[in-house]
Amino acid sequence: MDNLTVFTEFLLMDVTGSRELQVLQGVLFLLIYLGALLGNLMTVTVIVTDTCLHSPMYFFISNLSLLDLGTISVIVPRAIIDSMTGHKMISLTECAAQIFLYILFAAVEFAFLVVMSYDRYVAICHPLHYGLTITPTLCAQAAAGSWASGLVYSAMHTGALFWLPFTKTNVIQQYFCDIPQVLRISCSDVQLSEFIIIAMNSVEARNKTISTCTPQLAILLLFVISGAIAVLGPSAKEPSFKNLLTAMFYIIVPPFMNPIIYCLRNREINSALGRMFN
Between residues 273 and 35, which one has the greater pLDDT?
35
Asked if residue 61 is part of any domain, the answer here is: yes
Q: Residue 151 — pLDDT band, cuts 50, 70, 90?
A: very high
For residue 201, the model assigns a pLDDT of 43
Between residues 252 and 70, which one has the greater pLDDT?
70
Whether residue 142 has pLDDT greater than 60: yes
**Structural domain containing residue 161:** 16-277
Asked if residue 216 is part of any domain, the answer here is: yes
248-266 pLDDT per residue, tens:
777 777 777 777 776 666 7
Which strand (E) or helix (H) includes residue 91? strand 89-91
Asked if residue 11 is part of any domain, the answer here is: no
Asked if residue 3 is part of any domain, the answer here is: no
Between residues 232 and 67, which one has the greater pLDDT?
67
For residue 101, the model assigns a pLDDT of 93
Asked if residue 88 is part of any domain, the answer here is: yes
Asked if residue 76 is part of any domain, the answer here is: yes
CATH of the domain at 54: 1.20.1070.10
Q: How many CA atoms lie within 13 A of 159 on its CB side?
A: 6
Cα–Cα distance measured from residue 141 to residue 136, given in angstroms and rounded to the nearest whole number: 9
Q: Lowest-pLDDT range, 146-155, 212-221, 262-271?
A: 212-221
CA angle 53, 54, 55 (to 5 degrees): 95
Q: Are 230 and 247 in contact (CB under 8 A)?
A: yes
Q: Residue 217 — pLDDT band, cuts 50, 70, 90?
A: low
Between residues 263 and 171, which one has the greater pLDDT?
171
pTM for this structure? 0.77
Mark 10-23 as b/e (b = at least 16 C-beta within 10 Å).
bebbbbeeeeeebe
Domain count, the chain: 1
Mark 191-205 as b/e (b = at least 16 C-beta within 10 Å).
eeeeeeeeebeeeee
Which alpha helices (H) appear in 50-127, and where do they start and end? Answer: 56-85, 92-125
Asked if residue 94 is part of any domain, the answer here is: yes
Whether residue 99 has pLDDT greater than 50: yes
For residue 210, the model assigns a pLDDT of 46
Cα–Cα distance measured from residue 273 to residue 201, given in angstroms and rounded to the nearest whole number: 37
Asked if residue 123 is part of any domain, the answer here is: yes
Q: Average pLDDT for residues 193-222, to the nearest whole number?
A: 49
